[in-house]
């Protein structure tokens, strides 16, 4: 295995100078990228990293001479192999797109056209640019599918996008980008939507093929550990400006700027684990299914102690969100019992009394969709207070103010609408809404997944503080191991509807592991640039 | 069995059930109409005795459900019964015999209109989506909106005035009969067809435009652009295949209108279609004819909507090629 990229870097391929981009919101143009320089040699991989709003995707697209609708490139030069992309005509750019510069989007499921077979979409560019005839392009696609280790490379092209998995789709999209052997590929968060176990294969496949064809790439991500595996050089961006830039190993070893250092911070957050025998919620042998045919939960037994946090971790499709639906009564279990404070909990939502409903609350992944955009913060947080406690409006406002204080927001927010708040603030409002009922248990379903790392840390810290103050129990559903490490006392590992392992955090995170836990934990990218190489070597050795 | 076939059969079964319910509703609501065939035909001379005698003669004295069963039983065997008009006399006229030529005329006009209007509105819609917010887009939108907002009889008279009276390119009246040959029939039905085209193009064109524009913001359209596919080709190759379902629904709806809703245009041009026949039958309380017309209309609606469903199934790979 080649851990070190031994490729000879050639002459400069891409040279961006003083790039400025503006975005339009409500008719007002405001800066998104405020003067950034990027230069890239042939065969070099540059990682662009930053939080949302840093402008990394916008810069990536600008490297193609493209600005999304509602954005415009206002200043700077973009030279690609001697062609000024800002001055080039639409026609000239279209000649380059797909053939010499290709794009790999974040969500392959959305970026593939659902109406056409994979092979149609893979060969489209090569055929329309006249680089290959159809038969040759198809044969070449099969070859690319094979190189990207897609299963059944001869046949998989005949499938429609919905017929293959997310990881396979992302590799097929890489094949599509490679079809014309471009000089430059823009990878725009290509693995963000994937599970960690799938991510490993996709990262490996993408890295290999870029190396094989000596393609230059811009790799955009918010995950430092991922970019460490992929990039020769990393550029950290914040609010449309470059923070610092350095070769990968140098950057990881000693980041110079404070901001770069804070990007590491969330990984250090870790709650001191504490075990309790006082069980608030006991799920015993629960089965559940949506259609009645496939069991989404299969004999699940989980215990949630009072005032503690149990993290439920697993890939998409492991049944973790279904477990939440079973507990809340939205999906009554077909078998098994749920005991709440020692008493059996009525299975269906409609059989539960108001007090039981009050005691189990929920916080969702997307505050954007779970908060009614037309209600003020007063209504959003005040509604459960009125509903469960039947208090008057003065008392309600007093409680809302108290809760705003608890979530560290100013009282002046009370008359605002969710649309006026940032993502982190909205998630705080969701937390306050759940707390307003004074529940025994809060089920947190991927509540930090949509947030930037720094905001994640703030939310996790807040949740821990609130737990200390109110002795509430959290059932914390997540796919992110760093978050698990940060917040949990106990961990439940789920896979295909079954509980693989439950135990105190230190026990689950340390060997010996059951096979699946091992796979899951070993797939979490680490900040070491050799991590992926070593992992693949270890896995292939284990297989042999 | 292929899931698509299963769905189609299910919908078909559901359609038949709907048709049955509709038949009950038709029959019941006609029962509720004030006055009967006897009153309508006897006019001022309708004394209670003559009305009763008349009703006895055409069988209207029997209970409603017996008559319903008799009717629906006949329909199931393809017999729509006899028109009340002429029942007492020597020439009994079967409903099928009355309806068949009228239905042919209606379908003729509908088909003629559809052959022009559907491709036209798809073309206009695709172009409007392609040149969104351009002058072309605005003009097409306002013109089609105007034609849909103008009462159809008014459009009909305008067209008649300009193209049949000012310039004698067409006849003012579109009378046809069984002996009219095909070309003559098309020539005579041209003005009504143009009128109807103007009425239905707006809906279909606007839905085509909206369905396409709805997809333009989707990530796979951006992907197509970044693969170097020109806009026009992207819209036709990448957006249109995903837009058929809503477009087909609106087309089905408008085609149904061509069959069941054209009575005004028929009256203006004196075109002998089924709409006029039904209106006449309602005013003379000739129930068997009214019932048959209503049932045919309902069946048209159901069949066209079923076809729209089938189109949306076969254009959706998720349904056509399950995992």
The complex scores an ipTM of 0.82
CB nearest to A110's CB, from B220, B226, B227: B220
Asked if the C-beta of B232 comes within 8 angstroms of chain A's C-beta atoms, the answer is no
- Average pLDDT score over residue span B202-216: 92
Verify cis geometry, omega within 30 degrees of 0, for the bond prior to A38: no
What would be the CATH architecture of the domain defined by A12-268? 3-Layer(aba) Sandwich (3.40)
CB nearest to A111's CB, from B223, B242, B323: B223
pLDDT tens, position by position, B240-298: 999 999 999 999 999 999 998 888 898 888 889 899 899 888 888 888 888 899 999 99
Q: Return the DSSP state at A170.
A: H
Asked if the C-beta of B311 comes within 8 angstroms of chain A's C-beta atoms, the answer is no
Residue B124 has φ and ψ, to the nearest 5°, of -60, -40
Residue A239 has φ and ψ, to the nearest 5°, of 45, 45
Query: Which residue of chain B has the CA closest to A94?
Result: B228
* DSSP reduced 3-state for B189: helix
Note whether A337 and A281 are within 8 A (CB): no
Cα B95 from Cα B76, distance rounded (Å): 14
Q: Do B222 and A162 touch (CB under 8 A)?
A: no
Structure tokens at B179: 């002996």
Characterize the bridge pairing of strands A490-495 and A498-504: antiparallel
C-alpha of A219 from chain center: 16
CB nearest to B219's CB, from A66, A107, A160: A107
- The residue among A300, A304, A302 whose CA lies nearest residue A285 is A300
Note whether A290 and A497 are within 8 A (CB): no
What would be the CATH architecture of the domain defined by B101-283? Orthogonal Bundle (1.10)
Q: What is the pLDDT of residue B205?
A: 94
CATH code for the part of the protein at A279-510:
3.40.50.300
Q: What is the pLDDT of residue A4?
A: 45
C-alpha of A304 from chain center: 26
Q: Do A97 and B317 touch (CB under 8 A)?
A: no
- The residue among A205, A200, A257 whose CA lies nearest residue A49 is A257
Query: Which residue of chain B has the CA closest to A70?
Result: B217
CB nearest to B227's CB, from A97, A116, A160: A97
- The residue among A84, A58, A83 whose CA lies nearest residue A72 is A58
Those residues of chain A that have pLDDT short of 70 are 1-9, 264-268
Q: A102: which chain B residues are within 8 Å (Cβ-Cβ)?
A: 226-227
Interface test with B, best of A57, A113, A161, A182 (most B CBs within 10 A): A113
C-alpha of A39 from chain center: 28
Q: What is the pLDDT of residue B87?
A: 62
Cα A205 from Cα A232, distance rounded (Å): 17
Chain A residues with a Cβ under 8 Å from any Cβ in chain B: 64, 66, 68-69, 94-99, 102-103, 105, 107, 110-116, 124-125, 128-129, 160, 162-163, 176
Q: For chain B, give every domain's residue range.
A: 101-283
Asked if the C-beta of B13 comes within 8 angstroms of chain A's C-beta atoms, the answer is no
CB nearest to B220's CB, from A69, A112, A160: A112
pLDDT category of residue B34 using cuts at 50, 70 and 90: confident
DSSP for A225-284, written as a single string: HHHHHH-SEEEEEETTEEEEEEEHHHHHH---SHHHHHHHHGGG--PPP-----EEEEEE
- The residue among A143, A231, A151 whose CA lies nearest residue A181 is A143
Q: Do B219 and A105 touch (CB under 8 A)?
A: yes
In angstroms and rounded to an integer, the radius of gyration of the C-alpha atoms of chain B is: 24
Query: Which residue of chain A has the CA closest to B220?
Result: A111
| Mean pLDDT, rounded, of chain B | 87
pLDDT tens, position by position, B54-82: 788 777 778 888 888 888 888 888 888 88
Q: Return the DSSP state at B163.
A: I
Please enumerate in sequence order all residues whose Cβ is within 8 A of that of A310, keeping only pairs 6 or more positions apart, or say none: A302, A303, A304, A473, A474, A475, A476, A488, A489, A490, A491, A492
Q: Where in chain A is the domain with CATH 3.40.50.300?
A: 12-268, 279-510
Note whether A34 and A20 are within 8 A (CB): yes
Phi-psi region of A457 (alpha: psi -120 to 50; beta: other; left: phi over 0): alpha
Cα A113 from Cα B37, distance rounded (Å): 60
Q: Is the dihedral of CA B96, B102, B108, B113 positive or negative?
A: negative
- Any long-range contacts for A323-329 (C-beta under 8 Å, 24+ apart)? A323/A283, A323/A286, A323/A297, A323/A475, A323/A477, A323/A494, A324/A362, A324/A443, A324/A445, A324/A475, A324/A477, A325/A288, A326/A283, A326/A286, A326/A288, A326/A297, A327/A281, A327/A283, A327/A360, A327/A443, A327/A475, A328/A360, A328/A362, A328/A443
Q: Do B318 and A69 touch (CB under 8 A)?
A: no
- The residue among A302, A308, A313, A301 whose CA lies nearest residue A275 is A308
Query: Which residue of chain A has the CA closest to B231?
Result: A94
- Which position has the token pair 């075109």? B271
Cα B157 from Cα A510, distance rounded (Å): 86
- Average pLDDT score over residue span B146-170: 89
* DSSP reduced 3-state for A379: helix
């Amino acid at each position: 295995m080649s851990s070190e990229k031994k490729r000879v870097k050639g002459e400069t391929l891409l040279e961006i100078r003083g790039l400025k981009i503006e975005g339009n919101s409500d008719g007002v143009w405001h800066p998104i990228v405020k003067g950034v320089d990027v230069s890239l040699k042939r065969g070099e991989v540059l990682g662009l990293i930053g939080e949302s709003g840093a402008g990394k995707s916008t810069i990536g697209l600008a490297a193609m001479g493209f600005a999304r609708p509602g954005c415009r490139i206002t200043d700077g030069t973009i030279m690609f192999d001697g062609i000024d992309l800002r001055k080039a005509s639409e026609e000239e750019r279209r000649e380059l797109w797909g053939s010499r510069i290709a794009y790999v989007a974040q969500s392959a499921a959305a970026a593939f056209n659902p109406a056409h077979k994979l092979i149609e979409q893979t060969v489209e560019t090569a055929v329309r640019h006249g680089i290959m005839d159809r038969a040759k392009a198809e044969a070449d696609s099969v070859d690319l599918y094979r190189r990207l280790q897609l299963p059944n490379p001869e046949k998989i092209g005949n499938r429609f996008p919905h017929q293959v998995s997310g990881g396979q789709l992302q590799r097929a999209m890489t094949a599509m980008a490679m079809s014309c052997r471009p000089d430059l590929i823009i990878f725009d968060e290509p693995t963000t939507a994937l599970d960690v176990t799938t991510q490993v294969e996709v990262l490996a496949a993408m890295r290999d093929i870029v190396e094989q064809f000596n393609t230059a790439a811009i790799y955009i991500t918010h995950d430092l550990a991922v970019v460490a595996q992929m990039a020769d050089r990393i550029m950290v961006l914040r609010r449309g400006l470059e923070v610092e830039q350095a070769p990968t190993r140098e950057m990881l070893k000693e980041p110079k700027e404070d901001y770069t250092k804070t990007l590491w911070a969330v990984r250090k957050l870790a709650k001191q684990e504490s075990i309790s025998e006082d069980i608030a919620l006991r799920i015993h042998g629960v089965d559940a299914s949506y259609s009645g045919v496939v069991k989404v939960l299969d004999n699940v037994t989980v215990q949630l102690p009072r005032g503690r946090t149990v993290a439920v971790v697993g890939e998409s499709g492991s049944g973790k969100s279904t477990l939440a639906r079973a507990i809340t009564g939205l999906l009554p279990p077909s078998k098994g019992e749920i005991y709440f404070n020692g008493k059996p909990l009525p299975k269906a939502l409609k059989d539960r009394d108001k007090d039981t409903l009050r005691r189990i609350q929920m916080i969702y992944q997307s505050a954007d969709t779970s908060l009614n955009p037309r209600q003020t913060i007063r209504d959003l947080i005040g509604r459960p207070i009125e509903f469960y406690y039947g208090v008057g409006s003065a008392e309600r406002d007093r409680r809302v103010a108290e809760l705003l204080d608890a979530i560290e927001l100013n009282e002046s927010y009370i008359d605002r609408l969710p649309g006026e708040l940032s993502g982190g603030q909205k998630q705080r409002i969701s937390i306050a809404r759940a707390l307003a009922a004074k529940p025994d248990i809060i089920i947190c379903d991927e509540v930090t997944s949509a947030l930037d790392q720094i905001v994640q840390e703030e939310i996790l810290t807040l949740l821990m503080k609130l737990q200390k103050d109110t002795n509430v129990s959290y059932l914390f559903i997540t796919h992110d191991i760093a978050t698990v490490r940060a917040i949990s006392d106990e961990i439940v590992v789920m896979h295909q509807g079954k509980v693989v392992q439950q135990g105190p955090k230190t026990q689950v995170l340390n060997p010996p592991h059951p096979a699946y836990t091992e796979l899951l934990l070993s797939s979490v990218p680490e900040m070491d640039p050799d991590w992926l190489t070593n992992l693949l070597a270890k896995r292939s050795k284990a297989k042999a | 069995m292929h899931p698509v076939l299963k769905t189609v059969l299910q919908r078909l079964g559901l359609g038949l059930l709907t048709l049955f319910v509709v038949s009950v509703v038709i029959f019941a609501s006609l029962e509720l109409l004030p006055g009967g065939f006897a009153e309508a035909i006897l006019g001022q001379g309708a004394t209670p005795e003559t009305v009763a005698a008349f009703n006895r003669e055409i069988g209207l004295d029997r209970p409603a459900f017996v008559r319903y069963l008799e009717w629906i039983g006949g329909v199931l065997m393809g017999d729509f019964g006899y028109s009340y008009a002429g029942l007492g006399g020597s020439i009994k006229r079967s409903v099928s015999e009355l309806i068949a030529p009228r239905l042919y005329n209606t379908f003729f006009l509908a088909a003629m209109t559809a052959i022009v209007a559907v491709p036209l509105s798809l073309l206009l819609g695709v172009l409007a989506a392609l040149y969104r917010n351009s002058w072309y887009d605005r003009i097409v939108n306002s013109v089609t909106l105007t034609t849909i907002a103008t009462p159809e009889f008014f459009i009909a008279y305008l067209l008649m005035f300009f193209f049949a009276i000012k310039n004698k390119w067409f006849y003012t009246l579109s009378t046809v009969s069984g002996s009219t040959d095909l070309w003559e029939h098309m020539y005579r039905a041209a003005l009504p067809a143009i009128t109807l085209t103007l009425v239905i193009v707006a809906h279909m064109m606007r839905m085509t435009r909206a369905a396409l524009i709805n997809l333009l913001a989707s990530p796979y359209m951006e992907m197509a652009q970044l693969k170097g596919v020109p806009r026009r080709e992207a819209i036709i190759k990448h957006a249109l295949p995903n837009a058929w379902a809503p477009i087909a629904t609106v087309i089905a709806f408008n085609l149904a209108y061509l069959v069941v809703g054209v009575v005004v245009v028929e009256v203006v041009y004196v075109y002998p279609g089924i709409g006029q026949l039904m209106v006449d039958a309602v005013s003379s309380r000739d129930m068997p004819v009214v019932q048959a017309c209503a049932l045919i209309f309902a069946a048209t609606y159901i069949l066209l909507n079923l076809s729209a469903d089938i189109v949306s199934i076969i254009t959706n790979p998720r349904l056509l090629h399950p995992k």
